[in-house]
Amino acid sequence: MKRIICVLSLTLAVGQLANAQKKFSISGTVSGNAPARYYLQYNNGTKYVTDSAEVKNGRFSFAGMLLQPAPGVVSATLIRNMTGNKKEQAYLFLEPAAMTINIDNGDLSTIVMKGSVSNDENVQLEKEKEAATARYQPLLEALRNEKDHDKAAAIREQLAPYFNTNSQLSRKFIREHHNSFLSVYLMRFEIGSMTLDSARYYYNSLSTALQKSKDGLDIAKEIKSLEQGSPGSVAFNFSKKDINDQPLSLSDFKGKYVLVDFWASWCVPCRAGNPHLLELYKQYKDKGFEVISVSDDDRNHDAWKKAVEKDGIGVWKHVLRGLDMNKRMKNEPNPEDISEHFGIHSLPTQILIDPKGVIIARYGGGGEEHEALDAKLKEVFNN
């Protein structure tokens, strides 16, 4: 009986220790222009949490549980104003530990956090990115303030070198820190521009614990989706109502080479590439070539239809992707979303499918350069 009690006691102690290791606490101090409250938002592993803490005599505190699998680290946002035009916020990384925060004059840009290794790593990485940020600051400010989709897209084009520099620094960190939560966090943003081989390489380099974390499992799903939209896979047979409200299925085009073109009315490079795609369509359509454009304009049908008319591309087929923002915000699967079945993360991306329904090429996000499409079409139609 004593032995049984000892075993039960040991089991209980281990369980209590595991729970204790998942607890986090933040002791905060703020000087000067302090708000009445600070707000903390994060996903604890089972739900999205919004917590608040009253500031008394320049001090505030937060505490909670991180129910994530190992290593139990989560990204979080500390917010000064939940309402109003100016929503000041700072991005942090919470660990199952006792952490401290210090803020000067209530200004979140001065925040110093201690007790979180992941946060320390992110601060150092952001310092490495500061030179590029300073150089492109005017464009970044313009992008934040621009409400027009077309103008914002044009600004993003000018910011391409900036995004590329940041991406290179992020990938360097991932390569050099296989056991860091920041690596798996950064990969969530990088995977959209990775080829399938690169995605597999970076994912396989992560520690087993990171692969089994919530973010790691999400990345594994993204890689599976990218596999479904890469050469060698049978293309997902989607069915939609087209721009003329007529039924359309990918299987209707068996026996032809089909280019599934993922684009949007607000995508500047997509629109810029339409004249050349129109030339290719006219050149090969009588030889068994078809184009189906899948638009990301689910929330603006008028802009979609106007862009098709203005660019003169109504000669081929057009459907909407089937985006559901409610499901996306809740991270729920959406079988009606064509883009999810092909691993689409950036526009434009084009998928070339052979007469048997097998993907033979991918151009753009996660694939070859778009210019390679010309040579591929010349190869398949001149042989």
**Interacting residues of 240 by C-beta distance below 8 A, sequence separation 6+:** 247, 248, 319, 320, 322, 338
Predicted confidence (pLDDT) at residue 3 exceeds the cutoff of 90: no
For the residues 43-59, what does the mean pLDDT come to? Answer: 92
Least confident of 11-25, 194-208, 261-275: 11-25
Least confident of 101-115, 317-331, 344-358: 317-331
pLDDT of residue 18: 42
Residue type at 81? N
pLDDT of residue 251: 96
Work out the number of other CB atoms within 10 angstroms of the CB of residue 107. 15
Least confident of 17-21, 41-45, 55-59, 67-71: 17-21
Question: Which of the two residues, 374 and 383, has the higher pLDDT score?
Answer: 374
pLDDT of residue 371: 87
The encoded tokens of residue 196 equal 């399938």
Report the b/e string of 296-328 with b at 16+ CB within 10 A.
bbeebeebbbebbeebebeebbbbbbbbeeeee
Give the confidence band of 366 by pLDDT, cuts at 50, 70, 90.
confident
pLDDT of residue 46: 81
pLDDT single digits (tens) 99-123: 999 999 999 999 999 999 999 999 9
| E strands present in the chain | 23-30, 37-43, 48-54, 59-65, 74-79, 89-94, 98-103, 112-114, 239-241, 247-249, 257-263, 289-295, 317-320, 349-353, 359-364
pLDDT more than 70, % of the chain: 91
**Is 260 in contact with 344 (CB distance < 8 Å)?**
no
**Is 16 in contact with 8 (CB distance < 8 Å)?**
no
**Interacting residues of 54 by C-beta distance below 8 A, sequence separation 6+:** 36, 37, 60
For residues 354 and 352, give the distance between their C-alpha atoms in angstroms, rounded to a whole number: 7
Give the confidence band of 157 by pLDDT, cuts at 50, 70, 90.
confident
Give the confidence band of 70 by pLDDT, cuts at 50, 70, 90.
low
Predicted confidence (pLDDT) at residue 314 exceeds the cutoff of 90: yes
pLDDT single digits (tens) 246-294: 999 999 999 999 999 999 998 888 999 999 999 999 999 999 999 999 9
Give the confidence band of 69 by pLDDT, cuts at 50, 70, 90.
low
Q: What is the pTM of this model?
A: 0.78
For residues 203 and 226, give the distance between their C-alpha atoms in angstroms, rounded to a whole number: 13
Report the b/e string of 120-151 with b at 16+ CB within 10 A.
ebbeebeeeeeebeeebeeeeebbeeeeebee
For residues 343 and 223, give the distance between their C-alpha atoms in angstroms, rounded to a whole number: 8
